[in-house]
Amino acid sequence: MNNPVTSHPKLVTSVAQLREILAGVRREGKRIGLVPTMGALHEGHLSLVRASKAECDCTVVSIYVNPSQFGPGEDLDRYPRTLEADLEALACCGAELAFVPADGEVYRAGHATWVEVGSVAEPLEGRCRPGHFRGVATIVLKLLNMVGPNVAYFGQKDYQQALVIRRMVEDLDVPVEIRICPIIREPDGLALSSRNAYLSPDARRRSLVLCKSLHLAGELIDQGQRNARVIAQRMRQVITTAEDAQIDYIALVDPNTLEPVDEITGPTLATLAVKIENTRLIDNCLLEPKR
């Protein structure tokens, strides 16, 4: 009996029931926080739940593997689904509500509307995964409309996604605040990701090249290196020490526009996407040159 006493979140599966419960919460003047997830929850997700708990009275965690953000040949079918463990984890964090919609509750017959974000959605992941951000923007807007939260929480691990959502919320005047919370890492530096579960022990070891290359980028900038091409080249060398690494991109970009940077003169995002043993991993780090 070492477990602390925990209370399971209320499990809600229909939009109608969700709206009814939250209308009551809202009438009481309570603040609602939303943490949208695809399940397979890890400490990264749970840190978002804790951030919501800290400033909201009712935290809703949605768990939905959104088919529209997966491309053909991507991992929709094998994406990890661990609902029971997810609900246990949410109980430990004290999330009030788990919204786990059935597929038919989300995309109904005749669905024909998509949210298209340009600009920050176009490079990097947008180029590698056509249609991905269309699916992300659409599902997030749907969830925001279903829940009507005061605040919604996203992880910096998916930096570009967070930027795309910020853009959408600003452009469409969605009445919600967006918080972006820090990346959570394993003790050895690997950024937490539900997809890490795909990695064999050996690939898990090789996947450390991602955070190592970001670390190197930081060191180089600390040492005075200002040439983005040189830094990216050195990062590439680190990545390719993992023999089977397939690089989708390694980029140094403006953290607001995601436009490529030539010379490091201010805050810069180092970001990369790499396949290790056919598992596509992403990671990023916000770097700032000291004066």
60 vs 120, beta carbon nearer a second copy: 120
Give the three-state DSSP class for 107: coil
In this structure, are residues 155 and 282 in contact, taking their beta carbons and an 8 Å threshold?
no
Cα 18-162-84 angle, rounded to 5 deg: 45
Q: Which of 138, 160, 196, 207 binds a second copy (CB under 8 A)?
A: 138
- Of residues 8, 42, 45, 215, which has the active-site annotation? 45
Laid out side by side, the sheet with 151-155 consists of: 10-12, 97-99, 58-63, 32-37, 151-155, 177-181
Amino acid identity for residue 52 in this structure: S
| CA distance linking residue 69 with residue 134, whole number of Å | 7
- Radius of gyration of the chain from its Cα atoms, rounded to whole angstroms: 20
Among 42, 45, 129, 142, binds a second copy (CB under 8 A): 142
Among 34, 120, 214, 232, binds a second copy (CB under 8 A): 120
Kindly state the smallest distance separating residue 149's Cβ from a second copy, in Å. 13
Among 10, 31, 167, 185, binds a second copy (CB under 8 A): 167
- Find the shortest distance in angstroms from Cβ 279 to a second copy: 31
Cα 213 off chain centre by = 20
49: left (phi over 0), alpha (psi -120 to 50) or beta: alpha
- Give the residue with the Cβ less far from a second copy, 71 or 118: 118
- The span of 91-99, 115-123, 205-213, 265-273 binding a second copy (CB under 8 A) equals 115-123
Q: Is 117 in the site for a second copy (CB under 8 A)?
A: yes
Q: Identify the residue among 148, 149, 155, 255 touching a second copy (CB under 8 A).
A: 148
Instruction: Tell me how far, at minimum, the Cβ of 127 lies from a second copy, in Å.
Output: 16
**Amino acid residing at 238:** V
Does residue 97 touch a second copy according to CB under 8 A? no
Report 3-42 residues binding a second copy (CB under 8 A).
15, 19
Determine if 116 is a binding residue for a second copy (CB under 8 A).
Answer: yes
Q: Examine the residue annotation and report whether 45 is marked as an active-site residue of this protein.
A: yes
Q: 108, 224, 243, 291: which one contacts a second copy (CB under 8 A)?
A: 108
Distance CA 271, CA 284 (A): 4
Residues 190 and 204 sit within 8 Å (Cβ to Cβ): yes
Find the shortest distance in angstroms from Cβ 32 to a second copy: 13
CA angle 29, 34, 35 (to 5 degrees): 155
> Closest Cα to residue 264, out of 213, 224, 216, 210?
224
Among the candidate windows 72-80, 111-119, 180-188, 192-200, which touches a second copy by CB under 8 A?
Answer: 111-119
- Candidates 21, 76, 174, 197; binder of a second copy (CB under 8 A) is 174
147, two tokens? 């829940």
216 binds a second copy (CB under 8 A): no
Q: Using CB under 8 A, list all residues that contact a second copy.
A: 15, 19, 108, 110-121, 137-138, 141-142, 145-146, 148, 167-168, 170-175
- Residues forming the active site: 45
